[in-house]
Structure 1
């Protein structure tokens, strides 16, 4: 997320943490001051995004409260709320792709909606399954959706966890502050030093006439680049979240030691994989319990993850590719490898195979169809 690399934004976030530490004796400091900070930050960043986010949040809070208290028609209301939110994302993506045109459209709306809609849907799930006991105050609902450290690039917060954190007083110790600062520095090193330098190398090599060794290098290089980029942002978000008194979930859990693709997607961008598994796979798998149904659901989930990243045939094929491999793992009962029950050679061998399969499709993350196709064509140029 670009604004977290801005010195003014970093100073504002650090200043907010210091204000919270200075006002720790005020019981409501975390909830109220973080709300004011979130709103002021968005207002200064973009007036359009600020107004859009406020309107979007208030409309969904009304739907969320309605669902919490609804005695009848809960399933219809639940489904309608989710469908409308998905439709909003789809519509904005189509406007962004110039499929539709409208004078009101601005790409900044999509910037603030991609991750927010996942949190909104999680809140609706909570309201649907918990009912009126799950109702949260407007103040905490706004903070949940607009929490600046995770606003546009995650990690994706779970509604119940954020609300539990909101009830706790601000108790960041000196050790917590030190750990948060170290995590932020690590993230900045990844983003500012490693990613910046590696991007220059990637663009230089990608601009050459590609042969098979160039393409293989670019795939591996881009895999490392995208890891440092994603994990670097997560480090910054987790660090600032800790300084503000909120626990942000880990997004990367040693993904390179994943012996299967199923386990890989629990470790790489873990909160995204968890979200789709919790809200789609687990819900439908209750009705379709066969191994074949699980395999089909794996394909559906990965296609949806691909399309969530972007509406293009390349992302669609990426989803089909990963989904098909995970479906085969399910059908062949190879989805889980218990490290304690297999030999080290078998475990690490499976890890290598998994990383090779991931590397084959990783350049899709570049978001540039021409670059991705050039790299794949280079594999055929011996």
Structure 2
């Protein structure tokens, strides 16, 4: 069930919120758990059992860890918990990738299993692992209520695509949270803004990306249009989803961490990753990079640590070589910035660093969105006018490109502005004088989104792939 669907917006969410609000406080976690399981069951009936198993497994592991804290038994329980989580992730997400590798290196011809990918497994697996690790470290006490822990794991607003919420983020609110009309109003507004990003912007760029694949008469400019379109699509798609999750969290009394902070205004790749998918970056920093020694090691060990983290980041996104290349690409860029490039970027003005970031990020997302390495190299060669294996006499520009450039030009301009803080600044200043404007704008946006969804427009969600 997509957040950006009529079924969710006008049926599931109002019913879930209504039941939640009329339920006495001491039973609200149970109601939230049941509605979250129903939400997941609507898309993944069989894999709901995996979600339940994950909750139960980490519940008992965490209790055992806390009981034996400081002993070898606690460490063994932690290792057991991590292995169970990683084995589930490896089997459902990576088993066919590993079979292909084994066949390639051994000459065997093992058949692929074609196991369907459980929605959100990458997200809820990381959440449960962070919980048991934090219990082991003593950063948080083990949750005594299995309903409470299962609610944390299964919480439907952030279950299938983040933000990656740690138990420490909401431990207090799981026990006691305050609902207010002000927070609910903020949550509704945030949800509708996220919905608008997804439906009005991301979906429109998604259609252009589909058209690009289908059109035979491409040009260099069309390849760049595609690269920029997907770069905007994935931002508005994923940040829109995060906005919707954060908004629903506020409606329920939770304060989820922010996941995006205008990444496309960054002036370095280092800054970009402080602003993009913030909760994932923090997860790898706290549970992989720092435990490996971080930057408090020798230069070569530090390089190893960064490359390891970013290769894992790429692999986390998907079981394909283009994702691994994508992660390694950013790892190398971050190393170069920390060694010498970052100092240069601070000396060359304001716009050159910004263009540098957008160029490299666009290239990265072309790699990211490819079905395989061959397609990635084909797309990149099209962007940079390379001929030979992938392209023969590709024109710089043609009539097909002109048609789609005219059709989407205004959308590119609107999206480019919307990816900056400017609209928020203008909107905030308007509200200072016309406070009645806010509910009117929210209703207008909801109406436009509803009309778009009712018309049956293009409405995928990219991060279901991961």
Q: TM-score range by the shorter chain?
A: 0.7 to 0.9
* Post-superposition offset of 1:97: 5.4
CA shift for structure 1 position 364? 2.9
Shift of 1:229: 0.7
Q: CA offset at residue 347 of structure 1?
A: 4.2
The structural deviation recorded for 1:303 is 0.6
Q: Which residue of 2 aligns with 1:175?
A: 182
2:355 corresponds in structure 1 to 352
- Corresponding residue for residue 307 of structure 1: 315
CA contact (8 A) 2:59 2:143 kept: no
Separation in structure 2 between the aligned mates of residue 3 and residue 225 of structure 1, nearest angstrom = 17
Q: 1:181 to 1:322 in 2, by over 3 A?
A: same
Flag as ranges the 4+ runs of structure 1 deviating above 6 A.
100-103
Distance (Å, rounded) in 1 between the aligned partners of 2:12 and 2:276:
29
Change (3 A) 1:357 1:304: same
Contact residue 303 and residue 320 of structure 1 kept, 8 A: yes
Deviation larger for 4-13 or 266-275 = 4-13
Which of 357, 361, 366 is residue 364 of structure 2 equivalent to? 361
Match of 2:231 in 1: 223
Shift of the alpha carbon at 1:70?
1.9
Give deviations 1:70-96, integer Å, cap 9, x for gaps. 242133332332133212211212345
Cα distance, 1:348 vs structure 2: 4.1
Q: Do the aligned residues in 2 keep the contact of 1:305 with 1:319 (CA within 8 Å)?
A: yes
TM-score with structure 1 setting the length: 0.88
Deviation at residue 331 of structure 1 after TM alignment: 2.4
TM-score calculated relative to the size of structure 2: 0.73
Q: SS at the partner of 1:153?
A: coil
Larger of the two Rg values belongs to structure = 2
Any conservation in 2 of the 1:68–1:132 contact (CA below 8 Å)?
A: no
Aligned CA RMSD, in angstroms, stands at 2.7
Hey, what does 1:200 align to over in structure 2?
207
SS at match of 2:138: helix
Which residues of 2 match residues 1-382 of structure 1 at below 5 A? Answer: 3-10=2-9, 11-23=11-23, 26-71=24-69, 72-73=71-72, 74-95=74-95, 99=99, 106-108=115-117, 110-130=118-138, 133-169=141-177, 171-206=178-213, 207-285=215-293, 288-332=296-340, 334=342, 346-369=349-372, 371-378=375-382, 379=384, 380=386, 381=394
Q: CA deviation at 1:145?
A: 0.9
Deviation string for 1:347-369 (max 9, x for gaps)? 44323212221111112332522
Q: 1:354 to 1:136 in 2, by over 3 A?
A: farther
Structure 2, gaps ≥5 residues long: 100-109, 387-393, 397-466
Q: 1:251 is paired with a residue of what secondary structure?
A: coil
Contact 1:295 1:326 in 2 (8 A): no
How many Å apart are 1:131 and its aligned residue? 7.6
Shift in alpha-carbon separation, 1:133–1:226, aligned structure 2, 3 A: closer
Q: Displacement of 1:132 after TM fit? A: 8.3
Task: Name structure 1 gaps, 5 residues minimum.
Answer: none
